[in-house]
Amino acid sequence: MPVLLVTPLAIYMTAFYAWPLASMLLRSVDDPAWTLENFRRFIGDVTFLDVFWITLRTALIVTAGSLLLGYPVALALSRLRSGPAALVLVLVLLPFWTSVLVRSYAWMVLLGRHGLVNELLIGLGVLDSPLRLLNTSFAVCIAMIHILLPYMVLPIASVQRQIDAALLRAAAGLGAPPWRVFLQVVLPLSMPGVAAGVLLVFVLALGFYITPALVGGPHDLMLSMLIAQQVDLLNWPYAACLSTALLATTLLLIVLAQRLPGVRDVMRSATR
């Protein structure tokens, strides 16, 4: 039976993922004894609300940026002939083959005080002294967009490739100039891909740790970093509350998004 094939993986995931996760989350109500006191204190906590807002805001900006940059790339991927399309695909996927840590460090090199960007601008005479690019929200957004872009491009491109070319020809034949064909046919039909890409990028951005930690400033404290900080302080109950909040938000978003029929189809076609 097919179920038996999944059993080893299920055991592995339960032992090394589900069980530690569950026991960690339990600490929010179980430490030092069964109590809701941790949550009560947590809900009124200003730091948490601040950080939560920063996390949400960053995720929103990163998602919007990825969409604006990624949609044209996806469009190009679906329109180009196989030669150039393969090249663009490789360029989009190349970051996947480098670890997030390495890429984040690369951004530090690029954006630092004596980094490539500053050196270039000073060398060209545009600047007199280096700009503070690193350790800013700007750096966080740029780096996160760069890292999450493939997750936006690929679902959109996949949906766009499925758009029947005959529809585009029909629209043109019926009198629609190319820009109207895009607005009235391509764009609406690519929405499921857009929804899937937006969901993926937003959820990933919510939980991002390494990149904001390395290239962000003191005001760019994301939820994941706060959790890490509290774990370092051995403040398990508080860390558990934060984790629960993050997990709950993410799950809620996924469930809500799944209810959009287009998104379900995209997910389904990926698993077919």
Stretch touching another protein by CB under 8 A, among 129-137, 151-159, 179-187, 244-252: 179-187
x/- letters, 110..149, toward another protein (CB under 8 A): ----------------------------------------
| Nearer to another protein among residue 99 and residue 184 (C-beta) | 184
| Nearer to another protein among residue 31 and residue 265 (C-beta) | 265
The encoded tokens of residue 1 equal 């039976």
The encoded tokens of residue 27 equal 């600490």
Minimum CB–partner distance for residue 221 and another protein (Å): 42
Q: What is the dihedral of CA 205, 207, 210, 212, to 10 degrees?
A: 60
3-state SS class at 203:
helix
Minimum CB–partner distance for residue 184 and another protein (Å): 8
166 binding another protein? (CB under 8 A): yes
Out of 122, 189, 253, 260, name the contact with another protein by CB under 8 A: 189
44 binding another protein? (CB under 8 A): no
| Nearer to another protein among residue 172 and residue 231 (C-beta) | 172
Whether the CB-CB separation of 237 and 166 falls below 8 Å is answered with no
Q: CA-based diameter of the chain, in Å?
A: 72
How many Å apart are CA 168 and CA 79, to the nearest integer? Answer: 12
261 binding another protein? (CB under 8 A): no
177 binding another protein? (CB under 8 A): yes
Stretch touching another protein by CB under 8 A, among 116-124, 145-153, 182-190, 226-234: 182-190
Length of the chain counted residue by residue:
272
Tally Cβ neighbours within 10 Å of residue 17.
10
How many Å apart are CA 220 and CA 204, to the nearest integer? Answer: 16
176 binding another protein? (CB under 8 A): yes
C-alpha distances out from residue 44 to 38, 47, 182, Å: 11, 9, 48
In degrees and rounded to multiples of 5, residue 209 shows phi and psi of -125, -60
173 binding another protein? (CB under 8 A): yes
Residues that bind another protein (CB under 8 A): 164, 166-167, 169-178, 180, 184-185, 188-189
